[in-house]
């Protein structure tokens, strides 16, 4: 509830405007603040050039989820495993350690998703549709071939051989 509601509304719009199947979700423990964001969205939406797409995206796949706490919001965000995750709170670094599954995490009110998409992030090739649970953003490692190197001593082979025979 510390970020201006208009900013949060515009950030939700920036995802929803991609297409009608885009998903924008607000997780917050403050119901009053969520109402303020909703009111800002109602006020700002008609003036946007992609208002029809945004409205259809929000109606079909958007959500406001009232959580019991910021900790619960982080737990739900991990289950959703979003492509983009904004932590728009006064203390974003407090919550960041609780987040395990997101393509890109944007910390603080001034770190909008659009900045990461276009000029502040390492790239914009991110895992979508919950695949951030097991996949990472595109990186240099995707263009490198790696091999595992394994070397076992004679004594180690004797011990591990028994274990391997059971598993095999």
Residues serving a catalytic function are 83-84
Question: Measured between alpha carbons, how far is 142 from 137 in angstroms, rounded to an integer?
Answer: 9
String of b and e for 14-33 (b: at least 16 CB within 10 Å)? bbbbeebebbbbbbbeeeeb
Which tokens sit at 148? 């595992």
**C-beta of residue 6 within 8 angstroms of C-beta of residue 40:** yes
Kindly state the DSSP code that residue 104 receives in the 8-state scheme: E
Tokens of 81: 């495993």
Upper half-sphere CA count for residue 125 (Cβ side, 13 Å): 4
Q: Report the C-alpha gap between 84 and 111 in whole angstroms.
A: 12
Which residue reads 């406001």 in tokens?
Answer: 64
């Amino acid at each position: 509830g510390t970020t201006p509601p208009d900013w949060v509304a515009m950030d939700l719009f920036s995802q929803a405007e991609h297409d009608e199947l885009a998903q924008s979700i607000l997780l917050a423990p403050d119901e009053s603040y969520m109402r303020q964001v909703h009111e800002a969205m109602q006020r700002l939406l008609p003036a946007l050039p992609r208002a029809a797409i945004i409205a259809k995206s929000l109606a079909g796949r958007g959500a406001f989820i009232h959580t019991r706490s910021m900790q619960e919001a982080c737990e739900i965000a991990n289950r959703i495993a979003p492509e983009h995750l904004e932590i728009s709170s006064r203390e974003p670094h407090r919550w960041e350690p609780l987040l395990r599954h997101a393509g890109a995490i944007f910390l603080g009110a001034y770190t909008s998703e659009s900045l990461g998409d276009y000029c502040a992030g390492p790239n914009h090739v991110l895992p979508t549709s919950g695949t951030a649970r097991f996949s990472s953003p595109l990186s240099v490692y995707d263009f490198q071939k790696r091999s595992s190197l394994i070397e076992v001593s004679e004594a180690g082979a004797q011990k591990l051989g028994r274990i391997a025979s059971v598993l095999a």
